[in-house]
């Protein structure tokens, strides 16, 4: 049974065949055509990537991890900053085009599902997954299922307002957590000290602050550069502040930190743990959650999407179309619109067999 997961990001589309154990067997990559192009062009790129992975084999299901807001039923992409979809019924349209069932979810949700099933949160009853990239992505996974909220918009942790009248955020609010704790924040902190203090970062960006990138700051911190290390310490402290607030609200068993910024490991996590221990409610009388790095890396989104595709039950209209095409067998007595993306049942089966992921 061929299941394909697809990470649909702002710059690239990454598709991969994912086994039941969460192993990625073969991948295909395409550039994302962008936001100001036709939807057809983007979906052509997705189709090319999926078909390259399939290589002519029959597809049992495709999971899409989209960098955007997905409605609570997993049917539409409501809005995506870097993609042309606006309120589009992406799931059913692509399901018909590919003659295969499609599951759709937000990319951070998919990554959280993968970390819960195969990664750092494996076996945990409740897990908070925070992804530090350009901004902050995240999800709260309870009992193996992502908590999505009424409109599917839960988990936007990065836009919790931690600083009243603080830095303006792209979302339109001010003082959002991701303005202080993200790849962008890391680069901004380092950039601000570039001209006034000696740092290897000046050489790395060839004296052009606008060329400074997150990976440069990470490399400089590894070399012992003080400016880079202090930028990491600041981002780490803000990480602890935000995770402390979320812990006070949700009391998770484990907090998984992923994304490019998390490559710095304890340089980021040690200051975060110190602040978390002090800032969580009941400090001194409770055990703070484990704060651990993610284990799945950049393929987490597509692995989680493929897992959702395995777990999904299909909407009435998609199933009817696929049944008419002979792709799926009719299911007697099925109600329309009974789509679910919960992963509880497959996880139980997987644990029962003792299968392990490759990580």
Footprint on this chain of Zn ion (rule: CB under 5 A): 159, 169, 171, 173, 176
Contact 112, 36 (CB under 8 A): no
CB of 229 to Zn ion, least distance (A): 27
Distance, C-alpha 60 to centroid of its chain: 23
Closest approach of Cβ 82 to Zn ion, in Å? 16
**Whether 253 contacts 289, CB under 8 Å:** yes
Residue 200 near residue 154 (C-beta atoms within 8 A): no
Contact of 328 with 44, CB cutoff 8 Å? no
- Please state the closest distance from residue 159 (CB atom) to Zn ion, in A: 4
Q: How far is the CB of 320 from Zn ion (least distance, A)?
A: 40
**Contact (Cβ atoms closer than 8 angstroms) between residue 277 and residue 288:** yes
Q: Cβ of residue 193: shortest distance to Zn ion, in angstroms?
A: 25
d(CA 291, CA 254): 6
What residues contact 195, with CB distance under 8 A and at least 6 apart? 209
Residue number with CB closer to Zn ion (166 or 293): 166
The residue whose two tokens read 């309120």 is 87
**Is 5 in contact with 15 (CB distance < 8 Å)?**
yes
Residues sharing a CB contact under 8 Å with residue 122, sequence separation 6 or more, in sequence order? 115, 116, 357
Give whichever of 159 and 319 is closer to Zn ion, judged by the CB atom: 159
Q: Report the 10 Å Cβ neighbour count for 171.
A: 14
- Taking CA atoms, 49 is separated from 4, 42, 210, 308, in Å, by 10, 11, 33, 19
Q: Is the Cβ of residue 171 or residue 334 nearer to Zn ion in the bound state?
A: 171
Shortest distance, position 178 Cβ to Zn ion, whole Å: 6
Six-digit token string for 202: 């000046």
CB of 160 vs Zn ion, minimal distance in Å: 9
């Amino acid at each position: 049974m061929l299941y394909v997961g697809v990470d649909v990001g702002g710059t690239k589309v990454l598709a991969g065949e994912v086994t039941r154990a969460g192993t990625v067997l073969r991948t295909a990559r395409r550039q994302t055509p962008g936001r100001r192009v036709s939807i057809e062009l983007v979906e052509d790129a997705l189709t090319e990537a999926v078909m390259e992975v399939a290589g002519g084999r029959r597809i049992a299901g495709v999971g899409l991890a989209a960098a955007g807001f997905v409605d609570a039923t997993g049917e539409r992409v409501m809005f995506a900053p870097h993609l042309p979809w606006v309120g589009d019924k992406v799931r059913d349209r692509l399901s018909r085009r590919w003659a295969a069932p499609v599951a759709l979810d937000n990319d951070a949700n998919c990554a959280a599902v993968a970390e819960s099933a195969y990664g750092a949160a494996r076996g945990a009853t409740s897990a908070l997954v925070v992804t530090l990239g350009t901004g902050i992505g995240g999800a709260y996974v309870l009992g193996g299922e992502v908590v999505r909220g009424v409109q599917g918009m839960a988990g936007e942790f990065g836009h919790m307002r931690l600083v009243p009248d603080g830095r303006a955020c792209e979302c339109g609010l001010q003082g959002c957590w991701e303005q202080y704790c993200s790849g962008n924040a890391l680069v901004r902190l380092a950039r601000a000290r570039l001209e006034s203090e000696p740092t290897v970062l000046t050489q790395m960006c060839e004296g052009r602050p606008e060329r400074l990138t997150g990976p440069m700051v990470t490399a400089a911190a590894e070399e012992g550069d003080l400016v880079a290390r202090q930028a990491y310490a600041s981002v780490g402290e803000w990480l602890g502040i935000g995770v402390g607030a979320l812990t006070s609200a949700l009391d998770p068993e484990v907090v998984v930190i992923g994304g490019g910024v998390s490559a710095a490991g304890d340089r980021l996590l040690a200051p975060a743990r110190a602040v978390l221990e002090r800032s969580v409610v009941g400090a001194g009388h409770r055990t703070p959650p484990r704060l651990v790095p993610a284990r799945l890396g950049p393929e987490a989104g597509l692995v989680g999407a493929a897992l959702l595709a395995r777990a999904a039950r299909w909407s009435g209209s998609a199933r009817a179309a696929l049944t008419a095409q002979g792709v799926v067998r009719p299911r007697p007595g099925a109600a329309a619109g009974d789509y679910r993306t919960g992963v509880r049942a497959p996880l139980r089966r997987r644990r029962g067999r003792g299968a392990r992921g490759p990580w």
